[in-house]
């Protein structure tokens, strides 16, 4: 029987790529549901092309004349669909904290999770791990770095892992000075050298916060100690991550920078399916280079490591403040270098909680966002 797939965040870059992957996997999968936040026009096009059983626009009402697809709107409808509909796999790719509650709802209803929404594990990793165990639900990562680690660990005993090494492209500002970073424009930050992604994740990549988020995600996905995770800058984005083992051996997973490859692996794991995507031609690579990340010019990575080690509520607060700060930067209300300032100050102001439960995570996210906006109003920044 075909596996029935619901895409949470169908109009984002991961969602669009997932639909392309599912075209290639049509003999084994069918598209049951599409849920997105606000892009009604693209959602309408997707409904007409793929004819899912249901679709939901979280931000408001919409109509698609002539369709047999059941149409829903609103956050509560999205939660109900993730929890109550008859399907097999949720591709969780809604951007940011908005993906946390519907992903938990899907886990509690026994659905397999293909996870691109890294914030789900960042804000409530201990909660997610408990829910996965309680409901016996498999979760496979979509991020290329975590997909690489998953592939490197295949067949390896857990006690043989010495460290996980996540690679980072370095983004568009790898070689800019601190003074230059203070003056960068939004359009410059959105020009990633290797990957085509959504606006928020592209800014996170430029600040290295995206790598910091992935570090925290890796801690929960692979059950390792924070001291076992490191980051190396690899501008070519060919090696997607590595695992070093206790005997000194290192495994690396390589591939062209194309998100369709880890998406397909997450859907078909532990098997592999043929795919028509580009292959590496090694003579064309010339060289692969590696650098230590600079925590002075890119403090977001340092902040994320500190949040991971402090654990508890800190990653949730950090994530909320980052979402606010990135949005302010995209609106050209703050400088690029103000992003870590807002994040760190918010983390200092919100009281720490060691083991926040589900409802406390919701409250923490809300309170941190409010505090980040208060901090923004007090900033004496030059408008970009």
Six-digit token string for 118 = 């890294």
Residue 312 lies in a domain: no
Structural domain count, the chain: 1
Residue 31 lies in a domain: yes
Question: For the domain that residue 73 is a member of, what is the CATH number?
Answer: 3.40.50.720
Six-digit token string for 243 = 């695992």
Q: What b/e readout covers 55-81, taking b as 16+ CB neighbours within 10 angstroms?
A: bbbbeeebebeeeebebbbeeebbbeb
DSSP secondary structure code for residue 74 in this structure: S
Q: Are 29 and 5 in contact (CB under 8 A)?
A: yes
Query: What sign does the dihedral 295-313-226-122 (CA atoms) show?
Result: negative
Residue 285: how many CB atoms within 10 A of its CB?
11
CA neighbours closer than 13 Å in the CB half-sphere of residue 46: 32
Residue 10 lies in a domain: yes
Residue 70 lies in a domain: yes
> Tokens 């109509």, residue?
63
Q: Look up the domain containing 7 and give its range.
A: 3-141
CA distance 133 to 111: 13
Closest CA to 230 of 154, 116, 308, 151: 308
Q: Are 34 and 12 in contact (CB under 8 A)?
A: no
Six-digit token string for 261 = 């490859």
pLDDT at residue 265, as a whole number: 98
- Reduce the DSSP state of residue 54 to 3 states and report it: strand
Which helix (DSSP H) or strand (DSSP E) does residue 285 occupy? helix 282-285
Task: Write the CA distances from 17 to 9, 39, 109, integer angstroms.
Answer: 11, 16, 25
pLDDT at residue 384, as a whole number: 44
Residue 165 lies in a domain: no
CA distance 130 to 225: 18
Task: Write the CA distances from 260 to 13, 128, 213, 287, integer angstroms.
Answer: 10, 25, 21, 24
Residue 53 lies in a domain: yes
DSSP secondary structure code for residue 226 in this structure: G
Q: pLDDT tens digits for the chain (384 residues)?
A: 899 999 999 999 999 999 999 999 999 999 999 999 999 999 999 999 999 999 999 998 999 999 999 999 999 999 999 998 899 999 999 999 999 999 999 999 999 999 999 999 999 999 999 999 999 999 999 999 999 999 999 999 999 999 999 999 988 888 899 899 999 999 989 987 776 678 998 999 999 999 999 999 999 999 999 999 999 999 999 999 999 999 999 999 999 999 999 999 999 999 999 999 999 999 999 899 999 999 999 999 999 999 999 999 999 999 999 999 999 999 999 999 999 999 999 999 999 999 999 999 999 999 999 999 999 999 864 444
What is the greatest pairwise CA distance in the chain?
Answer: 62
Residue 265 lies in a domain: no
- Reduce the DSSP state of residue 333 to 3 states and report it: coil
Question: Rounded to two decimals, what is the model's pTM?
Answer: 0.94
CA distance 363 to 13: 29
CA distance 39 to 27: 28
- Reduce the DSSP state of residue 180 to 3 states and report it: helix
Q: Count, in order, helices (H) and strands (E) of the chain.
A: 16, 11
Residue 89 lies in a domain: yes
């Amino acid at each position: 029987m075909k596996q029935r797939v619901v895409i949470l965040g169908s109009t984002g870059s991961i969602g669009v790529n997932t639909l392309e992957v599912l075209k290639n996997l049509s003999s084994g999968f069918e598209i049951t549901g599409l849920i997105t936040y606000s892009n009604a026009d693209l959602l309408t096009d997707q409904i007409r092309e793929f004819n899912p059983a249901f679709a939901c626009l979280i931000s408001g009402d919409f109509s698609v004349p002539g369709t047999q697809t059941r149409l829903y709107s609103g956050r509560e409808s999205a939660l109900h669909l993730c929890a109550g509909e008859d399907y097999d796999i949720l591709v969780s790719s809604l951007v940011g904290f908005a993906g946390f509650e519907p992903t938990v709802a899907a886990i509690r209803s026994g659905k397999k999770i293909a996870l691109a929404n890294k914030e789900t594990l960042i804000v409530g990793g201990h909660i997610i791990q408990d829910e996965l165990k309680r409901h016996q639900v498999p979760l496979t990562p979509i991020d290329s770095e975590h997909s690489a680690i998953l592939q490197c660990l295949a067949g390896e005993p857990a006690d043989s892992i010495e460290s996980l090494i996540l690679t980072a492209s370095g983004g568009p500002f790898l070689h800019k000075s601190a003074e230059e970073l203070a003056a960068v424009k939004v359009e410059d930050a959105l020009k990633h050298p290797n990957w085509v992604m959504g606006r928020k994740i592209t800014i996170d990549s430029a600040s290295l916060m995206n790598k910091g988020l992935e570090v925290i995600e890796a801690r929960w996905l692979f059950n390792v100690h924070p001291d076992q995770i490191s980051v190396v800058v690899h501008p070519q984005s060919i090696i997607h991550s590595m695992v070093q083992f206790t005997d000194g051996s290192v495994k690396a997973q390589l591939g062209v920078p194309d998100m369709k490859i880890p998406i397909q692996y997450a859907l078909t794991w532990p098997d592999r399916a043929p795919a028509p995507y580009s292959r590496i031609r090694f003579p064309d690579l010339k060289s692969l280079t590696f650098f230590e990340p600079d925590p002075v010019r890119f403090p977001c990575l340092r902040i994320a490591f500190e949040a991971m080690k402090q654990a508890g509520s800190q990653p949730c607060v950090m994530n909320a403040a980052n979402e606010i700060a990135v949005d302010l930067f995209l609106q050209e209300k703050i400088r690029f270098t103000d992003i870590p300032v807002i994040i760190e100050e918010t983390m200092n102001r919100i009281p720490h909680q060691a083991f926040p439960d589900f409802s406390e995570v919701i409250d923490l996210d809300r309170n941190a966002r409010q505090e980040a906006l208060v901090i923004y109003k007090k900033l004496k920044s030059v408008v970009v």
